[in-house]
Structure 1
Amino acid sequence: MIYEDLGYNNELEQYRNEQGLDSFEMGRVVSEHKERYVVKTPTNEYDSELIGNLRFTAESRHDFPAVGDWVAFSEYDEGKALIHAIYPRSSVIERQAVGKSGQVQIIAANIDCGIIVQSVNRDFNINRLERYLTICYASNVEPIILLSKIDLITAVELETLLNQIAERIKDVSVIAISNESDAGLDQLAALINKGKTYCLLGSSGVGKSTLLNKLSGKELMSTGAISESIDRGKHVTSYRELIVLENGGILIDNPGMREVGITDTASGLEMTFDGIMEYAENCRFKDCTHQHEKGCAILEAVENGEIDANTYANFQKMHREKTHFESTVQEKKSKDKSFGKMVKNVKKQRKQDKF
């Protein structure tokens, strides 16, 4: 294995030289456990932690390493290392942190392609597919839709689901697979290229870990048995992990996500709902909210059946989430600024009192 097999490229090498990081070793974060990181090189893996300066100067979650990041590190003991710097990210897949208003959770960094996995039984939900597409587009990550467990339905039922996707989602590859019969796996494997990084996205129990084992040809991840009561696999992945496949592809498995909250992803929404946004250009008012205005081209298209009503409803819901997230972030920034100003004034007053 060489560094390019892990996704290393000329842009990262240029940054390394420009920033004087050539005195450190370089590696990629393959897993994270409570601010401890496993960093992989072509020859070894290191249990790593941040140097104090990185930890204490971090202003947000973006300043900490994430799975998929490239880092500069130094080994201080056998198999143990200190992380000194994080290389620039080419992409970051993120969502709203669950239960934490205005905060972001990084799913993975430096991703080339997001593989959105939905099982064809109870997990299938086009609204959720559009959410995953939005976070992929916002991160400049190419999406692929993977329908799993097709052995559980008939060919006619599968064709119906594929038609439903085609009606609402355009220009995205859709592959139907079965981990039981291996149907469709060759088609997926053909899309995985050496040195490129792919992130598995989806809910619990849709077969992501089983898929990873199939693609690698090894039992890399534990898998759960099918639960008869809910007709789905039991969720077993509890943390993100980066795996290098024998064919050279790089795959990141993720814990199942029940919630896919939208952040400030304007570009992602526009790309996911580009069919809707084309109509927006013909709205009477430039600041049209597309909710109640007279002369709104989008509302007219919904009424005329030119835009699917469910697609429009999902677009509006996600747009409201985006707007709320942005306002929450701005409110938090204002509070932080006010608090910082107060601390500064207190320090200034204390200094004056000494004299």
Structure 2
Amino acid sequence: MITNLQTLEKLGFEKWFQDHVDPERSAEFEIARVIVVHKDRYTITSGLDDVPAELVGKLLFSAASAVDYPAVGDWVLVKLYDGNTFAVIHEIIQRKSLLKRKTPGKKIEFQLIAANIDAAFIVQSLDHNFNLRRLERYLVMVNESNIRPVVLLSKSDLLTSDKIAGRIGQIHEIMPQLQVLPFSSNNESGLEHVKDLLKPGLTFCLLGSSGVGKTTLLNHLIGESVFKTKTVREKDSKGRHATTSRQLITLAGGAMVVDTPGMRELENFSVETGLDETFAEITALAGKCRFNDCSHTREQGCAVLAAVTEGTLSEKRYQNYMKMIRESIFNDMSYVEKRQKDKQFAKHCKTVMTHRKRQKTF
């Protein structure tokens, strides 16, 4: 029996998680939630105090990839020490959702963003940084994780109501069911609509490029300027990171928000479901192609290419879809090859160590 269940429920420990905890394990350990991840350092809470934590050796050395490490929002089984001032994380409780992406650059590995998110706020600014193709990338990642996406359009004070309606229309033209809310942190218009979504016990995530106003928005949701903000660079209009680590903040109303560093690179892999949901009309068209294995590149009888030619499917949207498919396939293959090499290397190390032990014996 979980003694502090009522407190944990306020942190989002709903029935789904309760049903996925082994009663024997919950009797042996404390249940807590990861609220800060900064490189290899963690902070957890069970609803009372925030406690620094580290991983138990078994969990640390058995991890095969980044996915096996705790993320912000994870529920974990821990042991508390020194008067509940230090914790050791022994196990990650099954996740309901996990946001992840490919690590930036050439390295083929997962990078964890957040776990157990109910809804993701994808923030885009309404100025010249507004970008439908980038929005599609975020939607693929969110939809793949089975998380409800909500698009927040910042800096609404910079545009007329007609231009804002035009931008929202552009989004709804390709994704009609998507919830889109414009707001301004400058004059606070639209912020009440964002706050209305923040229900107690639910966990939200702020996603978006640097400089779109995520940190300023978070300060408004908190009700005070807790986090530092940075202005967009004038020379190239690019944002600068205000957030440097991932953390979960509990708001006064009981909702929780995960703030994440801005992402200038966003590549995904293993995102078939996310692609199908984000590009639903292309998925529907693909079902009408003459060949079941149509690559939608040059085949005769390709319904997708026909729609592009006829103008019923945006060529830019089609190109972005194909680019993400190519990236996903390449990253998937590269990751499998990397895992195979890692296994071969581990096997080689084991053989060498066994040989050395035999030599010592003789």
TM-score by length of 2: 0.92
1:66 maps to 71
- Give the letter aligned to residue 278 of structure 2: T
Correspondence for 2:321 among 303, 315, 318: 315
The 3-state SS of whatever aligns with 1:20 is: helix
Change (3 A) 1:237 1:348: closer
The 3-state SS of whatever aligns with 1:325 is: helix
- Give the letter aligned to residue 86 of structure 2: K
Deviations 1:262-311 (A, max 9, x none): 11101100110010110111111111100011111110111111211111
Please report how far the alpha carbon of residue 22 of structure 1 lies from its aligned counterpart in structure 2 after TM superposition.
2.0
The gaps in structure 2 that reach 5 residues or longer are 1-5
Contact 2:120 2:204 survives alignment (8 Å):
yes
The gaps in structure 1 that reach 5 residues or longer are none
Point out the more displaced range, 43-52 or 234-243: 234-243
Please report how far the alpha carbon of residue 349 of structure 1 lies from its aligned counterpart in structure 2 after TM superposition.
5.8
The 3-state SS of whatever aligns with 2:21 is: helix
Correspondence for 1:53 among 33, 51, 58: 58
Correspondence for 1:28 among 22, 27, 33: 33
Contact 1:101 1:328 survives alignment (8 Å):
no
2:3 maps to none
Deviations 1:209-244 (A, max 9, x none): 111111121223222356555667653111111011
Correspondence for 2:248 among 242, 248, 267: 242
| 2:307 matches 1:304 | no
Contact 1:97 1:103 survives alignment (8 Å):
yes
- C-alpha separation in 1, matches of 2:322 and 2:232: 36
2:180 maps to 174
- C-alpha separation in 2, matches of 1:268 and 1:163: 22
Matched residues, percent identical? Answer: 41
2:126 maps to 120
2:18 maps to 13
1:135 maps to 141
Point out the more displaced range, 101-110 or 72-81: 72-81
- C-alpha separation in 2, matches of 1:131 and 1:234: 20
Contact 1:101 1:325 survives alignment (8 Å):
no
Contact 1:241 1:254 survives alignment (8 Å):
yes
2:344 maps to 338
Change (3 A) 1:329 1:19: farther
Correspondence for 2:104 among 93, 98, 103: 98
Deviations 1:87-118 (A, max 9, x none): 11100001110124320101100011110000
- C-alpha separation in 1, matches of 2:57 and 2:348: 26
The 3-state SS of whatever aligns with 1:302 is: helix
The 3-state SS of whatever aligns with 1:101 is: coil
- C-alpha separation in 2, matches of 1:181 and 1:281: 47
- C-alpha separation in 2, matches of 1:319 and 1:228: 34
- Give the letter aligned to residue 56 of structure 1: F
- Give the letter aligned to residue 252 of structure 1: V
Change (3 A) 1:236 1:349: closer
Cα-Cα RMSD: 2.0
Give 1:153-168 correspondences, 5 Å limit.
Answer: 153-168=159-174
Change (3 A) 1:285 1:203: same
- C-alpha separation in 1, matches of 2:257 and 2:17: 20
2:281 maps to 275
- C-alpha separation in 2, matches of 1:237 and 1:334: 35
2:45 maps to 40
Query: Size of the alignment, in residue pairs?
Result: 355
Change (3 A) 1:347 1:224: closer
- C-alpha separation in 1, matches of 2:207 and 2:128: 17
1:152 maps to 158
1:189 maps to 195
The 3-state SS of whatever aligns with 1:200 is: strand
TM-score by length of 1: 0.94
- Give the letter aligned to residue 25 of structure 1: E
Contact 1:207 1:233 survives alignment (8 Å):
no
The 3-state SS of whatever aligns with 1:98 is: coil
- Give the letter aligned to residue 48 of structure 1: A
Change (3 A) 1:19 1:109: farther
- C-alpha separation in 2, matches of 1:15 and 1:167: 40
Point out the more displaced range, 123-132 or 52-61: 52-61
Please report how far the alpha carbon of residue 21 of structure 1 lies from its aligned counterpart in structure 2 after TM superposition.
2.6
Change (3 A) 1:240 1:308: same
